[in-house]
């Protein structure tokens, strides 16, 4: 691979053979102008088997390792964090992730604390991951893979983060930033304090923040927001929203769905990948870094997703989830130059190694039949390595995805040599091009420039007879001191033979006194090279050279090269690396002995996530259950469906920060409760047995039912409130009442009896009907 070409942000021009600094630090020498001719770019790719359910990758420059996350299947019974050699693609270690309880209600079981997003913190030798399905964040040690911290909390009534997706590390501010639903979160790398920043809280659709990037120059976080088609700009010093801009749509009738951001300071451009809709608007759009003004579109694929860029070489790489490929873009030319076929579909994420190679992970089926060590038995929570796993009640083949490694060789374009001319005066020469391309550096050379005593002369250059002044003084190439005369645009010391080469930046408002259009294409200019005052015994000379400004050479459209990766033999999975001894699954209550009535029922609701008890390891079976807690029971019994509670509470006495606000709002939305006529829910009140019967009846879908007989119980007649619901509860075998044939409808329910009702309810009915 070639070394990166020179950056545009050179601090000074170079002085031929003398290699001395010529110009002030404000001068820039562009290596290649925007829309310059596409370079000669060759791409090679290799592919091998990876891990199942690959999601994201992140590179550790400190350790030269690639970290890859994977979670396969809706139950997350196959998941791991893999440490990979980025050069050989060999999987060197796979983590045995913590086992946690999965889901709630009748269909609950066990899963791994599945990993999705990943970011490397080399400053602290850690790797951070998002546990998307568990609404948590975890941190592992890079060397040992030990779990050093997690926000996962089985007893939490609400989580700090919701559906966390991607994560990025900011060592300068000691923060990790997480994207997901409705927010961006800031997490302190040391204290793990979490702060949230709401994104478009007024939106009536699901807000989803995607793959962000940090502009260290300005201290801004650029966050694509999928639903609104915008990029949100966050001031990291204040952790507040600063501004936003809308992602350009080539087809205004279709969504853009922006997904990832890359920034190139040398080009002063932002690159946004967009998934688009049904192929429309898929690809990369380019914007001015300062103004966010749209500049161009580079269509690619059908669902462009992950993006990374090699700023040193002005290369951009974009993954396409729709058709399974990686696009290679010559960013300086603004052209797609190669497409690497990674599979039939689902190329998900990209990461770049220190050598400039790019690592692509996908979710496309590459192999089946490989025995995977990081698989779990859903029913028991025990490690169950093999080739299949449980998904939605059925055994399915574990699908292993692929790693693809790209290496790119970028050579400068071969251009016709510009026509040059030479001016000769008093035995010295000056050579330069007759037409300088607009925006390109001014390059000249000379011969014969010596002093009276045979040493190299010191030459200064002035543009347009001194009509152009520099903003920052040029430095004397011998002493390094600033030259006070600002009409000196360049200076160089010739060698002892009198030869020199001088490169000067193209004059702009940023570096000189020129006005707009003064140096536009078609204008004529001169440069005068002078000696006699900068070196002892030097001769007085004045050699002029005339030239014109030509329009920049436009990029020539190229057809992208199609690349199929070479297949590399799979090098196998290593043994599992244990990450923790913490127990996240065992349920026991010190106040629920085996002799306790309803002990079996209490343990069932606890083991199935319907009731969690308290962090002090108690269940408190004889306490009355409050209406708020009852809502939580019903929500979890329904399988804890994904639900985002409204910004305005449906009940006047339930604030949005109530511990069970989401569950109460869900209960109302599902039609299980209507509350009281005065608009209250009264969450702190104990729930009576008659109201509990109504809740269960409605949760079952309010089945068509007519009570038989005069009364279900002695104290429940046809005139009793909730008569039908209580009768239905009895006929279903969910309640038997007391031995004296009473139901006691106005008696508050205790937590042990509620466990019994829930256990019988789920045993008798298809409780999935309650997740309306």
Whether the predicted pLDDT of 711 surpasses 80: no
What is the average pLDDT across 730-759? 93
* CATH number of the CATH domain containing 541: 2.60.40
User: Is 758 in contact with 601 (CB distance < 8 Å)?
Assistant: yes
Q: Of all helices (H) and strands (E), which one includes residue 1?
A: none
pLDDT at 69: 98
Q: Is the pLDDT of residue 15 over 90?
A: no
* pLDDT (average), residues 471-491: 95
In a shared domain, residues 26 and 68? no
Range of the domain at 419: 16-30+415-550
759: its two tokens: 């256990």
The answer to whether the CB of 131 falls within 8 A of the CB of 114 is yes
Contact (Cβ atoms closer than 8 angstroms) between residue 182 and residue 198: yes
Q: In what order do the strands lie in the sheet with 126-131?
A: 118-121, 126-131, 136-141, 147-150
Q: How many percent of the chain have pLDDT more than 90? A: 78
Q: Is 705 exposed, middle or buried (0-12, 13-18, 19+ CB in 10 A)?
A: middle
Boundary residue ending a domain (512, 530, 550): 550
pLDDT of residue 766: 55
Which pLDDT does position 446 carry in this prediction? 97
**CATH number of the domain where residue 399 is located:** 2.130.10.10
Residue 573 lies in a domain: no
Do 406 and 432 lie in one domain? The reply is no
Least confident among 73-77, 133-137, 238-242, 253-257: 73-77
User: Residue 588: its pLDDT value, please?
Assistant: 87
Report yes or no on 125 lying in a domain.
yes
Task: Tell me the average pLDDT of the chain.
Answer: 90
The verdict on 393 and 428 lying in the same domain is no
Residue 24 clears pLDDT 60, i.e. is over it: no
Question: Does residue 443 share a domain with residue 316?
Answer: no
Do 333 and 463 sit in the same domain of this protein?
A: no
**Cα separations (Å) of 216 from 128, 173, 260, 724, 731?**
20, 11, 17, 66, 67
State residue 631 phi and psi, 5-degree precision.
-60, -40
Rounded to 10 degrees, the C-alpha dihedral 683/686/692/695 comes to: 0
For residues 482 and 402, membership in a common domain is answered with no
What pLDDT score was predicted for residue 157?
64
Given a cut of 70, is residue 14 above it in pLDDT? no
pLDDT at 413: 61
Task: Give pLDDT tens digits for 323-339.
Answer: 999 999 999 989 999 99
Across the range 664-675, mean pLDDT stands at 93
Contact yes or no for 342/57 (Cβ under 8 A) = no
Q: Is the pLDDT of residue 4 over 80?
A: no
Q: Is residue 607 part of a domain?
A: yes
Q: Does 767 have pLDDT greater than 80? A: no
Per-residue HEC secondary structure of 216-240 comes to: CCCCEEEEEECCCCEEEEEECCCCE
Average of pLDDT values for 229-256?
97
| pLDDT number for residue 323 | 93
Task: State how far the alpha carbon of 632 is from the alpha carbons of 317, 627, 683, in Å.
Answer: 46, 9, 11
More confident call, 28 vs 692: 692
pLDDT at 103: 83
d(CA 138, CA 152): 8
Residue 530: partners with Cβ closer than 8 Å, 6 or more residues away: 459, 460, 461, 462, 541, 542
Q: Is the domain of 748 the same as that of 606?
A: yes
The predicted structure's pLDDT at residue 551 = 85
Q: How confident is the model at residue 267 (pLDDT cuts 50, 70, 90)?
A: very high
User: Is residue 771 scored above 60 in pLDDT?
Assistant: no
Task: For residue range 544-596, list pLDDT tens digits in order.
Answer: 999 999 987 766 677 899 999 999 999 999 999 999 999 998 888 999 999 99
pLDDT tens digits for 283-305? 999 999 999 999 999 999 999 99
Q: What is the pLDDT of residues 91-123, one digit of tens each?
A: 999 999 999 998 888 888 999 999 999 999 999
Q: What does the pLDDT read at residue 647?
A: 87
Mean pLDDT of 536-540: 93
Last residue of a domain, one of 550, 571, 591: 550
- 412, 441, 460 — which closes off a domain? 412
Written as six digits, the tokens of 664 are: 């109460």
Q: Could you report the per-residue pLDDT of 29-80, keeping only the tens digit for each? A: 233 344 455 688 999 999 999 999 999 999 999 999 999 999 998 889 999 9
Identify the three-state secondary structure at position 359. Answer: strand
270-277: average pLDDT: 97
Give 295's contacts (C-beta < 8 A, 6+ positions apart).
Answer: 269, 286, 287, 288
User: How many structural domains are present in the chain?
Assistant: 3
- pLDDT band of residue 142 (cuts 50, 70, 90) is very high
Beta strands 500-504 and 458-463, pairing class:
unpaired
Contact 133, 140 (CB under 8 A): no
User: HSE-up of 579 (CA within 13 Å, CB side)?
Assistant: 26
**What region does 386 belong to: left with phi over 0, alpha with psi -120 to 50, or beta?**
left
Predicted local distance difference test score (pLDDT) of residue 13: 27
Interacting residues of 182 by C-beta distance below 8 A, sequence separation 6+: 162, 198, 199, 201, 206, 207, 644
In this structure, the answer to whether residues 708 and 650 fall within a common structural domain is yes
Give me the mean pLDDT over the 259-276 stretch. Answer: 96
Residue with token string 């329904």? 638
For residue 572, being part of any structural domain is answered with no
Q: DSSP letters along 623-642, please?
A: SBPBHHHHHHHHHHHTT---
Residue 34: its H or E element? none
Residue 480 in domain: yes
Distance (Å, whole) CA 600 – CA 585: 18
Do 277 and 291 fall within a single domain?
Answer: yes
Q: Do 50 and 107 belong together in one domain? A: yes
pLDDT number for residue 32? 38
What are the C-alpha distances in Å from 331 to residues 179, 317, 561, 673?
27, 10, 16, 57
| The pLDDT value given to residue 416 | 65
Same domain, 367 and 431: no
> Do 205 and 293 have their domain in common?
yes
Residue 364 located in a structural domain = yes
**Percentage of residues in the chain with pLDDT exceeding 70?**
93
Q: Is 239 domain-assigned? A: yes
pTM assigned to the model: 0.76
pLDDT in tens, 620-661: 999 999 999 999 999 999 888 888 889 899 999 999 989 899
Ramachandran area for residue 701 (φ above 0: left; ψ -120 to 50: alpha; else beta): left
**Residue 361 included in any domain:** yes
């Amino acid at each position: 691979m070639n070394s990166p070409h020179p950056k545009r942000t050179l601090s000074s021009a170079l002085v031929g053979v003398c290699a001395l600094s010529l110009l002030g630090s404000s001068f820039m020498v562009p290596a290649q102008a925007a829309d310059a001719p596409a370079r000669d770019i060759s791409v090679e790719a290799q592919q091998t088997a990876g891990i199942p359910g690959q999601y994201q990758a992140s590179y550790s420059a400190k350790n030269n390792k690639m970290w890859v996350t994977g979670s396969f299947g809706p139950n997350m019974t196959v998941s791991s964090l893999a440490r990979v050699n980025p050069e050989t693609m060999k999987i060197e270690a796979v983590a045995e992730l913590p086992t946690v309880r999965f889901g709630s209600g009748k269909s609950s079981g066990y899963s791994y604390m599945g990993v999705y997003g990943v970011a490397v913190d080399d400053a602290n030798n850690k790797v951070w991951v998002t546990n998307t399905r568990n609404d948590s964040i975890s941190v592992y040690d890079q060397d040992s893979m030990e779990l050093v911290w997690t926000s996962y909390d089985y007893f939490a009534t609400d989580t700090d983060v919701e559906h966390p997706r991607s994560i990025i590390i900011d060592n300068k501010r000691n923060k990790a930033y997480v994207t997901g639903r409705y927010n961006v979160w800031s997490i302190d790398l040391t204290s793990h304090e979490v702060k949230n920043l709401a994104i478009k809280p007024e939106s009536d659709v699901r807000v989803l923040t995607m793959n962000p990037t940090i502009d260290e120059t300005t201290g801004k976080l650029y966050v694509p927001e999928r639903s609104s088609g915008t990029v949100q700009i966050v001031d990291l010093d204040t952790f507040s929203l600063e501004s936003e801009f809308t992602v350009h749509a080539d087809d205004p009738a279709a969504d853009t769905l922006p997904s990832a951001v890359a920034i190139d300071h040398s080009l002063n451009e932002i690159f946004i990948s967009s998934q688009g809709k049904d192929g429309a608007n898929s690809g990369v759009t380019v914007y001015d870094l300062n103004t966010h003004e749209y500049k161009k579109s580079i269509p690619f694929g059908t669902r462009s997703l992950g993006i990374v860029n090699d700023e040193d070489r002005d290369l951009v790489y974009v993954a396409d989830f729709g058709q399974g490929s990686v696009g290679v873009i010559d960013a300086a030319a603004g052209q797609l130059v190669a497409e690497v076929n990674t599979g039939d579909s689902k190329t998900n994420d990209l990461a770049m190694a220190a050598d400039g190679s790019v690592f692509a992970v996908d979710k496309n089926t590459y192999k089946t039949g490989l025995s995977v060590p990081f698989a779990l038995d859903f029913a028991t929570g025990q490690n169950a390595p093999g080739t299949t796993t449980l998904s939605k009640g059925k055994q399915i083949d574990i699908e292993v995805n692929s790693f693809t490694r790209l290496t790119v060789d970028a050579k400068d374009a071969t251009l016709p040599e510009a026509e040059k001319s030479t001016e000769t005066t008093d035995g010295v020469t000056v050579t330069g091009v007759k037409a300088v391309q607009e925006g390109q550096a001014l390059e000249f050379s000379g011969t014969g420039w010596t002093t009276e005593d045979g040493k190299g002369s010191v030459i200064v250059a002035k543009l347009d007879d001194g009509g152009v002044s520099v903003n920052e003084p040029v430095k004397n190439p011998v002493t390094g001191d600033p030259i006070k005369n600002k009409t000196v645009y360049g200076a160089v010391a010739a060698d002892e033979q009198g030869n020199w080469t001088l490169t000067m930046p193209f004059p702009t408002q940023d570096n000189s006194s020129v006005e707009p259009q003064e140096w536009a294409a078609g204008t004529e200019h001169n440069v005068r090279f002078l000696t006699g005052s900068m070196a002892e015994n030097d001769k007085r000379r004045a050699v002029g050279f005339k030239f014109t400004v030509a329009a920049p050479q436009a990029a020539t459209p190229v057809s992208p090269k199609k690349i199929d990766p070479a297949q590399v033999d799979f090098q196998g999975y290593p043994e599992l690396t244990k990450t923790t001894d913490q127990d996240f699954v065992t349920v026991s209550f010190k106040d629920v002995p085996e002799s306790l009535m309803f002990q079996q029922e209490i343990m069932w609701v606890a083991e199935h996530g319907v009731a969690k008890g308290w962090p002090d390891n108690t269940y408190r079976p004889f306490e009355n259950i409050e209406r708020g807690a009852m809502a939580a029971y019903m929500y979890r019994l329904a399988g804890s469906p994904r639900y985002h509670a409204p910004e305005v509470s449906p009940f006047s006495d339930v604030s949005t920060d109530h511990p069970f606000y989401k569950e109460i709002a869900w209960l109302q939305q599902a039609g299980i409760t209507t509350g009281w006529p005065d608009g209250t829910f009264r969450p702190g009140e104990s729930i009576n047995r008659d109201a509990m019967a109504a809740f269960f009846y409605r949760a079952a879908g309010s089945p068509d039912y007519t009570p038989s007989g005069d009364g279900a119980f002695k104290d429940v007649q046809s005139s009793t409130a909730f008569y039908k619901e209580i009768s239905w509860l009895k006929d279903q075998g969910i309640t038997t009442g007391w031995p004296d044939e009473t139901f006691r409808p106005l008696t508050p329910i205790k937590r042990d009896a509620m466990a019994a009702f829930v256990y019988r309810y789920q045993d008798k009915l298809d409780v999935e009907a309650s997740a309306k």
